[in-house]
Chains A and B, each alone.
Chain A
Amino acid sequence: MPSTRAIVLGTLGAMGTTFRNAFRRATTLRYPKEKRTLPARWRGGSFALTFDPATGEENCIGCRLCEYICPSEIIAVTLRKGEARQNGIGATYADVFTLDYQACMQCELCIQVCPTDAIVMTRALAPATTTREGLFLSKERLMDNGRKLLAESELASEATGTKLREWTKAEGV
């Protein structure tokens, strides 16, 4: 049992704290109207599938590494063999590529394992929607995000699989 003095002082201290707080400015941002300035390396936007801007050939080779590593198991990829690409290498692609953004926890593991920098996280594509379907990213929507990424360079996040692997090697981690 604490002393009476401690109880009284603690009570008064707590009430003083709330009283001081009552006259401070509210930190609330009214989201759709006001937007927080995002940090430079923010990656909580949405996902995108990149492609070669010159040929329009998608980078994803359907290797399913991102599907295997995803802790939330929200990525589903179906591997398909297709005809040889124009540069002669790589004959596989993702027939179906879906990402259920509802359960994504932004761990970035899928980006880290991607051997061809196909999947990236974007910086400021607003992910907020009012429907569940709005968070379900089909391959078409991911490719569409990739096109937006090419149009506006500040949307792209810092990290791609290659960059991360090079950084890991250089740091000797």
Chain B
Amino acid sequence: MIGALILSALVLFVAMTVVAYMTWLERKVAARFQNRVGPYQVGIPHGWLQPLADIMKLIVKEDITPRAADRILFNLGPVLVVVPALLGFAFIPLAPGLAVADHAYSFLFFLALASLTLLGVFAAGWSSNNKYALLSALRMVALVASYEIPMILALLVPATLAGSLSLSGIVEAQRGLWFCLVPGVGQVALLLFLICALAEGNKSPLDLLEAESELIAAYNVEYSGIKFALFYAGEYAHTLAMCALAATVFFGGYLGPSFLPGFVWLFGKSVVLFVGVLWIRWSLMRVRIDQALRLNWVVLLPVALLNVFIAAFWASGR
């Protein structure tokens, strides 16, 4: 009991710290892609104290609740975004037999929690009583609800190949071959998952909910101070959780040469995937909402379905 508490506190602390430093990494990598330097002044080598400065700044800023807003929902929104995003980390196996919550259906729990973020976003957009926030939240619902389907179909492939719905079972099944290396189905599933995760995590080119020219900022227009910081943290935590999930189900999670402990491998793979997401994000332009939805229903969904069938044949033939 005590051990589980300590472990969960540790995972929470590490996850929060990593999420804070993800913002720094994103700014550094984005600057690199644009021939800039990025954060440099705060903290001597390359502005490494920048996330702390940002957090301090956002904490001391005025926290405004608009008069026309629905107070309870408005204050609940950020919490509903951050908590599910962070809870997801509980199911990621860190080493053989080591996870905060190891469960026979941990994969399903993870996906259910990842979708809960949507509720927080919609609560924020609705309660702000701002037309742009509401439109943004509606777009988010339309997009995420549709992209959820091919994403889960893509994630069914590793589950089918492993014959297990527990994340540790899926990792153990990859001792022979990482699922991203399974010929055909593995790569297609990974690509599908990456595209859908971009839409889920509101990353460009599918970040329709924050099209600045149409919707000012996003569902969080009316938020300021620490609540805005929570949205920001929730978004990055969600992206990091998705990267950790991809590392777990496609890249063998904690598996790796034994000179480093398992969680270091998991962390390294997640960071590499995150940089890959940033590469996509800072390269491609935002698509229109109809294009995004057409891509989902016309291309991704049939491909994902077909891929699951092929993976099922592949698994049953073994």
Contact = CB atoms under 8 A, between A and B. Distances in A.
A, B: real partners:
yes
Interface of A: 11, 14-15, 17-19, 21-22, 24-28, 30
Given A18-B279, A30-B40, A11 B33 contact: no
B71 interface: no
B60 interface: no
Contacts of B282: 18
Contacts of B35: 21, 24-28
25 contacts: A11-B284, A14-B284, A14-B285, A15-B283, A17-B283, A18-B33, A18-B279, A18-B282, A19-B279, A21-B32, A21-B33, A21-B34, A21-B35, A22-B29, A22-B32, A22-B33, A24-B35, A26-B31, A26-B32, A26-B37, A27-B36, A28-B35, A28-B36, A30-B37, A30-B40
B55 interface: no
Contacts of A21: 32-35
Contacts of B280: 15
Contacts of A28: 35-37
A22 B36 CA distance: 9
Interface residues of B, number: 15
A21 to B, nearest CB: 6
A33 to B, nearest CB: 10
Contact of B283 (A14, A25, A26, A27): A14
B283 A18 contact: yes
Which of B31, B33, B284 has the most C-beta atoms of chain A within 10 angstroms of its own C-beta? B33
Leading 5 A-B pairs by shortest Cβ distance: A28-B37, A18-B283, A18-B33, A14-B283, A15-B283
Contacts of A26: 31-32, 35-37
Given A18-B283, A28-B36, A30-B40, 17 more contacts: A11-B283, A11-B284, A14-B283, A14-B284, A15-B279, A17-B283, A18-B279, A18-B282, A21-B32, A21-B33, A21-B34, A22-B32, A22-B33, A25-B35, A26-B35, A28-B37, A30-B37
Contacts of B285: 14
Interface in B23-73: 29, 31-37, 40
A22 B284 CA distance: 15
B166 to A, nearest CB: 35
Contacts of B37: 26, 28, 30
A27 B38 CA distance: 11
A26 B35 CA distance: 4
A30 B38 CA distance: 11
A14 B284 CA distance: 6
Contacts of A11: 283-284
A152 to B, nearest CB: 30
B38 to A, nearest CB: 9
A10 B280 CA distance: 13
A11 B279 CA distance: 12
A94 B133 CA distance: 54
Nearest to B34: A21
A14 B33 CA distance: 11
Nearest to A10: B284
A24 B34 CA distance: 9
A18 B275 CA distance: 13
A161 B34 CA distance: 42
A172 B135 CA distance: 59
Contacts of B279: 15, 18-19
A159 B67 CA distance: 55
Nearest to B291: A1
Nearest to A29: B37
A46 to B, nearest CB: 25
A24 B33 CA distance: 9
Nearest to B37: A28
A30 B284 CA distance: 29
A14 B279 CA distance: 10
Contacts of A19: 279
Nearest to A28: B37
Contacts of A25: 35
Interface string B271-315: 000000001101111000000000000000000000000000000
